[in-house]
Amino acid sequence: MEMLLSSLVQTHDNQKNMKNSLVLLFLSLALLSCENDFSVRGTISSDVINGEYMYIRMAENGSVVTIDSCRVQHSTFEMRGTADSAFVASLYIGDIPILPFVAEKGNIVFDITDNGIELGGTPLNDELNLFMREQVRFEQLMHELKRVETSLVLNGRSTEAAADYVSDSIEAVGASVEQLVDDYVRRNINNVLGPCIFALRYSGVPAPILNSELESLYNDAPLSFRNDAFVKHFYDVARENANRLERQRLLEK
């Protein structure tokens, strides 16, 4: 009888220990999941899109995957997701992509106004926001130079003379933009922001051509950057375009 009681007590203790172990395991997994969570919160200055749905989406295996969604209420929105490691996602209003951002642990904040979009709250998104602010500043400088050129023509200068007047300044701004991109890509070359900034700059280029600066960037980059889908396609096309121009130049000699 004593042996039976002892056996029952031992079995009960084993079951209790197993339950405690399972509870600890589930708690550990839950805490691990929370450690990798991110939130996306934002405000919108206009109430026009109140009631519309916003989405967090990412590209995966050639398709677009929705991570979370919410309805805009009182010009605010909030969504969540999990990032075991940082990755690039995009904020959408309906089917319209608004802005890429880095999904990483922490609270990511958007402030959408008529003057633009501010992004921050986590290290890589703060970095991305700095880049975009600098890019906007150069775009405004370029717009102002084009306005000066148009004003000169309207005041009697020839088109050629007006273009010559601003050409050096336009070239200098263009060089500054290229340097800006190169600096930000290089200092983020080992994280997901490097390919993201590269794509922001070059996704709209219709016929890329490989030059010495792009070649240097590629040669200095790790495989993680080179193997990015956009980067790889861009360099393949740019290299082929450069080779085609070189062959044409040789034929014309």
Residue 194, number of CB atoms within 10 A of its CB? 22
139 contact partners, CB below 8 Å, separation of at least 6: none
pLDDT band of 13, cuts 50, 70, 90: low
d(CA 176, CA 182): 10
- What was the pLDDT predicted at 61? 82
Residue 32: per-residue pLDDT? 44
As a whole number of Å, the end-to-end CA separation of the chain is: 107
- Answer yes or no: is pLDDT of 84 > 80: yes
Both structure tokens of 2 = 């004593």
Cα(56)–Cα(88) distance, integer angstroms:
10
pTM for the complete prediction? 0.79
Residue 10 banded pLDDT, cuts 50, 70, 90 = low
| DSSP at 14 | H
Q: Return the pLDDT at 49.
A: 86
Q: What's residue 251's pLDDT?
A: 85
CA 211 to mean position of chain CA atoms: 24
In the chain, domain spans: 1-35, 37-118, 124-246
DSSP class of residue 77 equals: E
% residues pLDDT > 90 (the chain): 72
Determine the CATH number of domain 37-118. 2.60.40.1120
CA–CA separation, 192 and 48 (whole Å):
33
Confidence of residue 161 (pLDDT cuts 50, 70, 90): very high
Task: Give me the helices (H) in the chain, please.
Answer: 2-35, 123-154, 159-187, 193-202, 212-220, 223-226, 229-252
Q: For residue 85, give the DSSP letter.
A: S
> For residues 225 and 189, is the Cβ–Cβ distance under 8 A?
yes
